[in-house]
Chain A
Amino acid sequence: MKTLVIAEHNSENLSAATLSVIDAAKKLGRDIDLLVANNSCSSVLDEAKSVEGVSSVLDFSHEKFANEIAEDIAACVVSVKDDYDFFLTSSSTSGKNNLPRVAALLNIQQISEVTEILDEKTFKKPIYAGSCIATVQSTQEKNALTIRTTSFEKANAAGGSAEVITKDVPETESRKSGFVKNELTVSDRPELTSADIVVSGGRGMQNGENFALLEAVATKLNAAVGASRAAVDSGFVPNDYQVGQTGKSVAPNLYIAVGISGAIQHLAGMKDSKTIVAINKDEEAPIFKVADYGLVADLFEALPDLESKL
């Protein structure tokens, strides 16, 4: 039996998240195949076969994969189910959308957001937004895991020479949904959940215009910009900036929290960051309890100062 990794890509490049999933897959000690559902994306297939540790690339090519519909992806996975006893993908919005559909069709209880693989049946995963860590053990022969990519390294993008196998794309007869449009955030910045550095603002930013101060620092650091729920609820920035229990979980190398008090819901989404900086004028703010470096200062002075020194 082998491990099947469902690849994520943007029709041009394989996503960095997929490299992390392949790293996680190696810990299961099986041959790893990579399923690439695509619309004749040769550059993605080239990248896929070059990843170190991949045995075969399953090329499911069809024009319907210009966009990704969970029903179609699930049908591809189910069509090759007999060769695999592990089905892995990342816990991105794409992985979260697709894998439970696959798992249910295969009568598998999926394990979500795996942060550690202890053995082939035993895994660690955060629960209650990271307030607790559960060690869970599967009694199933086949397992489906979404991988929290920030907890794993990335497999080498080069050095592999996998065989590309062309697969027949199953008809999804009962497909009743269709793609209408994408409105992807146009930004030169890295994506929030995969960025190396994140600069986040909270209620202390006072309004949306002041986020320009954060943006300036983020630009210097090539960082993503995030926000606390308080900032989102106050309408300073859109909801997709939100880091925390009900928003996105991030674990960058450097997380700079500016004007964020550090409510439980926010800490839950960022406390696995490697280095945390807090800038807040209230020295009692709970954020300082998790910060490696705390600066008690007025952010309206500190941010321009910081920007000028980077």
Chain B
Amino acid sequence: MKILIPIKRVNDYNVKVRPNQANTDVDLSNVKMAMNPFCEIAVEEAIRLKEAGKADEIVVVTIGDDKHQEQLRTALALGADRALLVKTDTTLQPLDVAKTLTKVFEKEAADLVIMGKVGIDGDHNQTGQMFAALTNLPQATFASEVEIDGNNVQVTREIDGGLETLTAEMPAVITTDLRLNEPRYASLPNIMKAKRKPLEELSLEELGVVVETKVNTLKVESPPERQEGVKVETVDQLVDKLRNEAKVI
């Protein structure tokens, strides 16, 4: 079984991202970049399936400029077998990412696609579902448990009220939630070994993807700052404020 893992390069999740001075975009000029945390979980899940003898090959793919090789090498160091970089300087929106991944999927003929449920940058939470629609594959989003059973995959999903379990015929698309696993760290020998693993470059043109920007960003601002409130001395004062000032209880 071959698993395809699309990953995304984003800001390190510990960094607070701010608008640029002109308020036209965010300022990422000195921000540390990393693999999106939900993509790390996707990579980890694929590695575990391979270690359990359920998968033979793990292919990671991302879309972006040369810097995106860093995140691909990280995935290779963690245990992916080979990497694909669809090279472009344009930032693609989720629908175009899904269209690009559809072409990669057709080329790779993977049996299972696992990807993060959301990028912590744009907060779209769209790409997995869109990719599933375009490839006409079943989708199991927000996974907290994945079990391969012959030609089917059983997925437990985190939904607002609790958990839901679905079964889907493979090939299928799974998007990962936090509870699925705890990703490992890459070991130094594996980081060295990853440098020799294959990393192939592709272009949007050769995949036949035409990028259309359908949504433009007009402005990026900081949210309204909250005023720091007051300190109360006792629980009684707190209850009084909540009842009579804020009127929320």
Interface check A100, CB cutoff 8 A: yes
Chain A residues within an 8 Å CB radius of B169: 176-177
Chain A residues within an 8 Å CB radius of B157: 93
Which chain A residue has the least Cβ–Cβ distance from B132? A101
Chain A residues within an 8 Å CB radius of B167: 177-178, 180
> Are the C-beta atoms of B138 and A177 separated by less than 8 Å?
yes
Looking at chain A's contact residues, the main secondary structure is mixed
> Are the C-beta atoms of A306 and B158 separated by less than 8 Å?
no
> Are the C-beta atoms of B161 and A191 separated by less than 8 Å?
yes
Instruction: Give A8-42 as 1s and 0s: 1 = Cβ < 8 Å from B's Cβ atoms.
Output: 00100000000000000000000000000000000
How far is A102 from B134 in the complex, measured between Cα atoms in Å? 10
A175 to B: closest C-beta gap in Å: 8
Q: Which of A101, A176, A182, A191 has a CB less than 8 Å from the CB of B168? A: A176
Chain B interface residue count, CB cutoff 8 Å, equals 84
Chain A residues within an 8 Å CB radius of B26: 127-128, 132
A227 to B: closest C-beta gap in Å: 12
Q: Which chain B residues numbered 106 to 141 have a C-beta less than 8 Å away from chain A?
A: 120-134, 136-141
> Are the C-beta atoms of A138 and B214 separated by less than 8 Å?
yes
How far is A246 from B180 in the complex, measured between Cα atoms in Å? 13
Instruction: Give B189-216 as 1s and 0s: 1 = Cβ < 8 Å from A's Cβ atoms.
Output: 0000000000000000000000001111
Interface check A295, CB cutoff 8 A: yes
Which chain A residue has the least Cβ–Cβ distance from B161? A184
> Are the C-beta atoms of B163 and A92 separated by less than 8 Å?
no
Chain B residues within an 8 Å CB radius of A94: 159-160
Q: Which of A113, A137, A310 has a CB less than 8 Å from the CB of B216? A: A137
Instruction: Give B232-247 as 1s and 0s: 1 = Cβ < 8 Å from A's Cβ atoms.
Output: 1111101101100010
A93 to B: closest C-beta gap in Å: 4
> Are the C-beta atoms of B159 and A104 separated by less than 8 Å?
no
Q: Which of B178, B242, B248 has a CB less than 8 Å from the CB of A242? A: B178
> Are the C-beta atoms of A107 and B95 separated by less than 8 Å?
yes
Interface check A69, CB cutoff 8 A: yes
Q: Which chain A residues numbered 278 to 294 have a C-beta less than 8 Å away from chain B?
A: 283, 288-294
Interface check A63, CB cutoff 8 A: no
> Are the C-beta atoms of B158 and A93 separated by less than 8 Å?
yes
> Are the C-beta atoms of B133 and A74 separated by less than 8 Å?
yes
Interface check A213, CB cutoff 8 A: no
Q: Which of A178, A240, A245 has a CB less than 8 Å from the CB of B120? A: A245
A143 to B: closest C-beta gap in Å: 9
Interface check A111, CB cutoff 8 A: yes
> Are the C-beta atoms of A110 and B94 separated by less than 8 Å?
yes
Instruction: Give A137-157 as 1s and 0s: 1 = Cβ < 8 Å from B's Cβ atoms.
Output: 111100000000000000000
Interface check A158, CB cutoff 8 A: no
Q: Which of A10, A131, A179, A310 has a CB less than 8 Å from the CB of B17? A: A131
A residues with CB within 8 A of B: 10, 67, 69-71, 74, 91-94, 96-105, 107-113, 122, 125-140, 174-185, 191-193, 197, 221, 238-240, 242, 245-247, 253-254, 264-265, 271-272, 274-277, 283, 288-297, 302, 305-306, 309-310
